[in-house]
Amino acid sequence: MRATAGTVVLIHGLWMTGLETSLLRARLRDGHGFATERFSYRTVNDGLDDNIAALAAYLRSLPAGRLHLVGHSLGGLLALHTLQRHPDERVQRVVALGTPFLGSAAARAVARWPYGEMILGATVCDGVLAPRLERWDGSQQVGSIAGTLNSGLGTLVETLEKPNDGTITVAETRLPGIADHLELPVSHAGFLVNRDVADQTAHFLRHGAFRRG
């Protein structure tokens, strides 16, 4: 399929490099006609402000044209913070996959460990342990997908409110002001390999709403 639907920038989550988004990128490109790009950032050593500046500069470096952002977990949070601070009219829609917009009980539990904040890294400490987003008032349409398959590292460190994806609870993904919210039976890591996630992401990027029924 010819890439005519705009360019999607994929933004990875905590402790990742961006290579983990390869299958999702391929599905959005080959199955749904989006050009794709990958933004990589340092989740542990760099703070939220540094990564906001880096993502804003990266978006400015891309050729002119319609853009969409897809962020997994921490990547969704970085996407909205960046658009809030550096509005970009080329960015039309954003999909967040398992993003803890309202904080994370699992992250708070790890932060209580000795050296816990060091393990989580600077961006999580800045943006998740002390959430800065209360609602979305930007011009972009934002869709949030939450997982309900309770399988992940978060269950080993904290008793999570149900439903959850094993790391992030559904309630933590419900940011006021967004255009749509959807629950799927996937785990936190499963967002990156699940075909329904790719299909629903593409549907939102084209239509501004998730597919129902």
- For residue 64, the model assigns a pLDDT of 83
Q: What single letter denotes the amino acid at residue 78?
A: L
Q: How far apart are CA 186 and CA 190, in angstroms?
A: 6
User: 170-211: per-residue pLDDT in tens?
Assistant: 999 999 999 999 999 999 999 999 999 999 999 999 999 999
- For residue 155, the model assigns a pLDDT of 66
Q: What is the SS3 assignment for 156?
A: helix
* CB 93, CB 70: distance < 8 Å: no
Average pLDDT over residues 139-146: 98
Could you tell me whether strands 91-97 and 35-39 are parallel, antiparallel, or unpaired per DSSP bridges? Answer: unpaired
Average pLDDT over residues 87-95: 97
User: 57-69: per-residue pLDDT in tens?
Assistant: 999 999 989 999 9
User: In 41-181, where does DSSP find H-type helix?
Assistant: 48-61, 74-85, 105-111, 116-120, 122-127, 154-157
- For residue 4, the model assigns a pLDDT of 58
Burial of 83 (0-12, 13-18, 19+ CB in 10 A): buried
For the chain, give the mean pLDDT.
94
Domain ranges of the chain: 7-207
Q: What is the greatest pairwise CA distance in the chain?
A: 51
| Residue, of 191 and 1, whose pLDDT is higher | 191
pLDDT over 90 (residue 1): no
- For residue 53, the model assigns a pLDDT of 98
Q: How far apart are CA 149 and CA 177, in angstroms?
A: 25
pLDDT grade for 5, boundaries at 50, 70 and 90: confident
Q: Cα 126 to chain center, whole Å? A: 16
* CB 180, CB 143: distance < 8 Å: yes
Which pair of tokens denotes residue 177? 């002001």
Q: Which CATH number fits domain 7-207: 3.20.20.60, 1.10.3720.10, 3.40.50.720, 3.40.50.1820?
A: 3.40.50.1820
CA atoms within 13 A on the CB side of 41: 32
